[in-house]
A and B are shown apart, each in its own frame.
Chain A
Amino acid sequence: MSIDIDTARRVAKLARIRVEEDALPALADEFNAVLGFIEQLSEVDVDGVEPMTSVTPQRLKRRKDGVTDGNMQEKILSNAPDAREGFFAVPKVVE
């Protein structure tokens, strides 16, 4: 499996990370190095093996589905790069 420049561009787009056109070839090379390393996994026979979902076999704790926290709008907004009138502010999303 070899990653070309188009794939590198597509992955960067999916990851929402801007990568300039001239940086794409080097990025594709790095992907190929990492994926080449990962490729060893194809040697392993995993027939009938379950993919791991939880490393410690424990039932997750449950609790009543109720509100246990809240009323901290100011705290939640305190670190926002742009907060206005009690909301996170972002550039216009819908025209």
Chain B
Amino acid sequence: MSDLNKLTLSAARDGLRAKEFTSVELTESCLSAIEGAGVLNAFVHNTPEIAREQAKAADAKLAAGDAPAMCGLPIGIKDLFATKGVPTQAASAILEGFKPEYESTITSKLFDAGSVMLGKLNMDEFAMGSSNETSTYGNAINPWRRGNEDSELTPGGSSGGSAAAVAADLCLAATGTDTGGSIRQPAAFTGIVGIKPTYGRCSRWGVVAFASSLDQAGPMTKSVRDAAIMLETMCGHDMKDSTSADLPVPNFEALLTGDIKGKKIGIPKEYRIDGIPDEISKLWDDGAAMLKDAGAEIVDISLPHTKYALPTYYVIAPAEASSNLARYDGVRYGHRATLAEGEGINEMYEKTRAEGFGHEVQRRVMVGTYVLSAGYYDAYYNKARKVRTLIKKDFEDAFAAGVDAILTPATPSPAFGLGEVSDSDPIQMYLNDVFTVTVNLAGLPGISVPAGLSATGLPLGLQLIGKPWEEGDLLNIAHSLESSAGFVSKPEKWW
């Protein structure tokens, strides 16, 4: 059987259990796809030995009829997850050579469930970026192209390598993380599904920290069903992360009934922003019509503090980053600068961090340092935390009024060209997250579902936002939207 790498998680799971093929065959198929896709720069550390060993073990379990949920399914892991004995750099030069002595909780859970790790995936440095252009490994390339053009497009960011790898069928699924939209925006740019669960659903232990009050991991997959399968494996309480929720994890896949009759779907008027392309507005309207046809009730809602979400985020995220990234000082791990005669420990810190951090990371660490510094803490940081309370309350009010989920566009544009958004204009890049960042600030689950193509032939996504801890309901609504939208396009292979 050829092209096993193109299977979804659910199809591969069923095929493995029906003994149509083995995990070793499935894994070899992905490994050769990865080998042939070097130009996409999606995988940055390959682990074929680990993959083959895990695949063999999975086949043994399958043969014994003792297969856990993800048994034998080959996936890619974002470079932000600590993987024991395997380079883990958060796409930063400052972690060059770092090989963790421990396994992140999420990857442990995935491996316990039988997953096969193909390697580590490209991303923006420390997950700071929306185009994967801040990576020390160089750009990841979107397998999608505009029509017949051969210009290189971004797969989005920060989980750009994950998105490119899943869209190009290099792996069946991948892990991502999302601090302001880093799962949902790249998913939308590459025509795949990405879900960020409720803050606290997935343990952050062993995930390199960017902004701890916003960071959440989630799966990036080829279908909503796959998202349900993989998310269930990733969720659960962990004593090692005090913010992880001690709540039962539902069987998300069993909740995909497709029945959304009577569900109330909110359409927030504040998301109809100036300058949004007509094709995105139309996609949004079409999505609402599809949900209505499926039996949902569409209601207009207001989330009045939406316009303050990005500025709030760009205080809180850099503030937390400046604190989290203080640990990279050249003492315990990673890069240490070479010192000149007579230079002491302060020079070591300053030179190490100047050499090890890229431009955007330095900028955010310094903005964070500034907003937390004496005299500005109240004006910026505390102010932003208060506005965050108001942003969350907007959603609470909508849910209290009976709304079950909220439908918005996932991104304000399709994938853009690499180098098209200038590094010297950070704000323009930040605007990519205008529809996604509110969800992180409010701690809510959000999912991006591919729903159509742009005039230039690029995928476009819609976002559904759910109530806290209601990922099951959210996935079911997303499943309905996915079925109605019938998005089946794949990028034409040019690599």
Which A residues lie at the B interface, using CB under 8 A?
3, 7, 11-19, 27, 30-31, 33-35, 37-44, 46, 49-56, 58, 60-61, 63, 72, 75-76, 78-82, 88, 90-93
Contacts and interface: CB of A to CB of B under 8 A. Distances in A.
12 contacts: A11-B369, A33-B427, A41-B384, A49-B390, A50-B386, A50-B389, A58-B243, A61-B246, A75-B101, A81-B331, A81-B335, A91-B343
B336 A18 contact: no
B351 interface: yes
B332 A27 contact: no
B413 interface: no
Contacts of B290: none
Contacts of B335: 81
Given A34-B426, A61-B239, 13 more contacts: A11-B366, A16-B329, A37-B310, A41-B383, A42-B383, A49-B390, A51-B386, A52-B392, A61-B246, A76-B101, A76-B332, A79-B97, A91-B345
Contact of A16 (B353, B367, B385, B390): B353
A31 B367 contact: yes
Contacts of A58: 200, 243, 245
B426 to A, nearest CB: 6
Interface of B: 97-101, 198-200, 213, 239, 242-243, 245-246, 305, 307-308, 310-312, 314-315, 322, 326, 329-336, 339, 343-351, 353-354, 357, 362-363, 365-371, 373, 380, 382-390, 392, 424-427, 430, 441-443, 468
B332 A79 contact: yes
Contacts of A35: 367, 370
A82 B410 CA distance: 46
A56 B444 CA distance: 9
A38 B307 CA distance: 11
- Chain A, interface SS category: loop
A33 B426 contact: yes
Contacts of A31: 366-367, 370
A27 B359 CA distance: 10
Nearest to B349: A16
A36 to B, nearest CB: 8
B312 A15 contact: no
A46 B390 contact: yes
Contact of B311 (A37, A61, A80): A37
Contacts, number: 170
A34 to B, nearest CB: 5
A55 B425 contact: no
Contacts of B380: 38, 41
B311 A49 contact: no
A80 to B, nearest CB: 6
Contacts of A61: 239, 242, 246
A38 B314 contact: yes
Contacts of A43: 308
B366 A17 contact: yes
- Chain B, interface SS category: helix
A11 to B, nearest CB: 5
A11 B199 contact: no
A14 B336 CA distance: 19
Given A56-B200, A81-B334, A40 B366 contact: no
Given A82-B336, A91-B343, A15 B390 contact: no
Contacts of A40: 307-308, 311
Contacts of B373: 11, 14
Contacts of B348: 90-91
Contacts of B345: 90-93
6 closest Cβ pairs, A-B complex: A55-B443, A51-B385, A81-B336, A79-B333, A46-B386, A18-B350
Contacts of B333: 79-81
A44 B245 CA distance: 32
A17 B350 contact: yes
Contacts of A13: 350
A51 B319 CA distance: 15
A55 B384 contact: no
B239 to A, nearest CB: 7
A15 B329 CA distance: 11
Given A34-B427, A41-B312, A79-B333, A52 B385 contact: yes
B383 to A, nearest CB: 5
Which of B354, B427, B441, B442 counts the most chain A CB atoms within 10 A?
A: B354
B398 to A, nearest CB: 16
A38 B311 contact: yes
Contacts of A14: 369, 373
A61 B70 CA distance: 29
Contacts of B387: 41, 44, 46, 49
A72 B245 CA distance: 29
A76 B366 CA distance: 29
A15 B425 CA distance: 22
B388 to A, nearest CB: 4
A39 B310 CA distance: 11
A44 B305 contact: yes
Given A14-B369, A51-B389, A80 B332 contact: yes
Nearest to A15: B369
A69 B100 CA distance: 17
Nearest to A17: B353
